Amino acid sequence: MKVSTRGRYGLRAMIELAKDGNSGATPLRIIAERQDISEQYLEQLFVNLRNAGLVKSVRGANGGYLLKESAEEITVRKILIALEGPINIVDCVADESLCDFSNKCATHELWIELREQIEDLLGNITLEDLRQRSIKLQKDK
């Protein structure tokens, strides 16, 4: 699985929302400036994040985005799936009908195990964990 800019930039944007915490909605313009990401690109990403129930939008003068759940409840797995789709190492893991050898392939089970390990790892790292890492990195500068 290769994480694209959608996943990487979306994760960075979500960390910014987590860092802002309870200070109100954060405009995409602010996130774009802090992370040096196009605001238009962030708009596309936040459609997926909103549809996945990870963020909510606030309209008006103080508008922007808020986390829909606490940073402790949002996992990296949830974010990446919202932005990248299902975690699949090879196509036959998602759809066995794509390969005539799935049921007799020695590596098929390996790919399934690898996907499960990745999902477990990403499911055990929360947005709060990444927020804390980000704060630590800024202090260490």
- Taking only the tens place, the pLDDT of each residue in 41-87 is 999 999 999 999 999 999 988 889 999 999 999 999 999 999 999 88
The pLDDT > 90 percentage for the chain reads: 67
Read off the DSSP letter of residue 104: G
Place of tokens 């602010």: 30
Q: Which residues contact 11 (CB under 8 A, 6 or more apart)?
A: 76, 79, 80, 83, 130
Q: Which residue has the higher pLDDT, 22 or 47?
A: 47
130: its two tokens: 């990444």
Residue extents of the structural domains in the chain:
5-139
CA distance 66 to 47: 13
Read off the DSSP letter of residue 66: E
Q: Which residues contact 91 (CB under 8 A, 6 or more apart)?
A: 98, 99
Residue 77 half-sphere exposure, CB side, CA atoms within 13 Å?
15
pLDDT for 26 beyond 70? yes
Q: Which residue has the higher pLDDT, 44 or 112?
A: 44
Question: CATH code for 5-139?
Answer: 1.10.10.10
Lowest mean pLDDT among 71-75, 109-113, 123-127, 129-133: 109-113
CA distance 21 to 16: 9
pLDDT (tens digit per residue) in 10-21: 999 999 999 988
